[in-house]
Amino acid sequence: EPEVTQTPSHQVTQMGQEVILRCVPISNHLYFYWYRQILGQKVEFLVSFYNNEISEKSEIFDDRFSVERPDGSNFTLKIRSTKLEDSAMYFCASRWRALTDTQYFGPGTRLTVL
Amino acid sequence: GDSVTQMEGPVTLSEEAFLTINCTYTATGYPSLFWYVQYPGEGLQLLLKATKADDKGSNKGFEATYRKETTSFHLEKGSVQVSDSAVYFCALTLVDYGGSQGNLIFGKGTKLSVKP
């Protein structure tokens, strides 16, 4: 069964550094998402991406965050000037076409900012 | 704004007990409703979904019925197993076709522990 993959599984960085989280969505899916989950809290939407551009973003997705689909298969989340409060589990998800289609989630990348 | 409220846990049950996890929602449009499950150390997996009122989603013995009149989507299972121990998230996505990009709005999650 096709699945969403994410790398790395765990990323540790120093405050102020830049990190790139990588995702490979399911190959024929058209919509891509990033969510985050701070430890013990609910899953929060960050950004959606369709047709090579951001289609919606939340208040969390400030100008330190960016997304890219550089090569038609990978989908990346870049965080510049990381802060302690960026520490969370980051999930990538993809969806085929219809709004009612299931979003499939990757296993997540745990980001720890020291 | 749009939101999901679910009963807070943790919920601890004995094996073969009946499970109910309450979920209610507030939505300005026409939501599709989902239950996702997160097993320890893993990502989110879709458990079941319902896309319109009175639909019943079911999977692995779990069921939930989309009740528009009570804006609810309660999760039930008749006989839980130890392997059902996980965190369960209720979520919605708006299907208004007017701008929604299908992002999911989650509840806070309910941790279920099933004891043998």
User: Measured between CB atoms, does B107 come within 8 Å of chain A?
Assistant: yes
User: Measured between CB atoms, does B100 come within 8 Å of chain A?
Assistant: yes
Q: For residues B49 and B63, is the Cβ–Cβ distance under 8 A?
A: no
Token pair of B86 as six digits:
């996980």
Contacts of A41 in chain B (CB under 8 A): 108
Q: 10-residue block means of pLDDT along chain B (116 residues)?
A: 89 97 90 92 90 95 96 97 96 72 89 96
Cβ distance of B102 and A106 shorter than 8 Å: no
d(CA A3, CA B7): 30
Cβ distance of A44 and B106 shorter than 8 Å: yes
pLDDT of residue B102: 80
- B84 phi, psi to nearest 5 deg: -85, -5
* CB-closest option in B36, B89, B103 to A33: B103
User: Measured between CB atoms, does B51 come within 8 Å of chain A?
Assistant: yes
Compute the average pLDDT of residues A81-105.
91
- pLDDT, one tens digit per residue, over A18-60 is 999 999 999 989 999 999 999 888 899 999 999 899 999 999 9
| Residue labelled with tokens 């392997």 | B83
d(CA B6, CA B89): 8
User: Measured between CB atoms, does B57 come within 8 Å of chain A?
Assistant: no
* CB-closest option in A45, A50, A108 to B104: A45
Cβ distance of A56 and B101 shorter than 8 Å: yes
Min Cα separation B30/chain A (Å): 11
Helix (H, G, I), strand (E, B) or coil at B83: helix
Among B7, B36, B44, the residue to mutate for chain A (most A Cβ within 10 A):
B44
Neighbours of A72 (CB within 10 A): 8
pLDDT of residue B41: 78
What residues 73-112 of chain A have any CB closer than 8 A to a CB of chain B?
A: 91, 93, 95, 99-108
Q: What is the DSSP letter of A78?
A: E
Helix (H, G, I), strand (E, B) or coil at A5: strand
Neighbours of A34 (CB within 10 A): 27
pLDDT of residue B98: 58
A31: nearest CA partner in chain B:
B101
How sure is the predictor about A1, in pLDDT bands with cuts at 50, 70 and 90?
confident
Q: For residues A21 and A109, is the Cβ–Cβ distance under 8 A?
A: yes
Write the DSSP assignment of B45-90 as a string of letters: EEEEEE-STT-EEEETTEEEE-BTTTTB--EEESS--GGG-EEEEE
* Closest C-alpha to A38, from A80, A77, A104, A90: A90
pLDDT of residue A98: 73
Q: For residues B81 and B114, is the Cβ–Cβ distance under 8 A?
A: yes
pLDDT of residue B96: 62
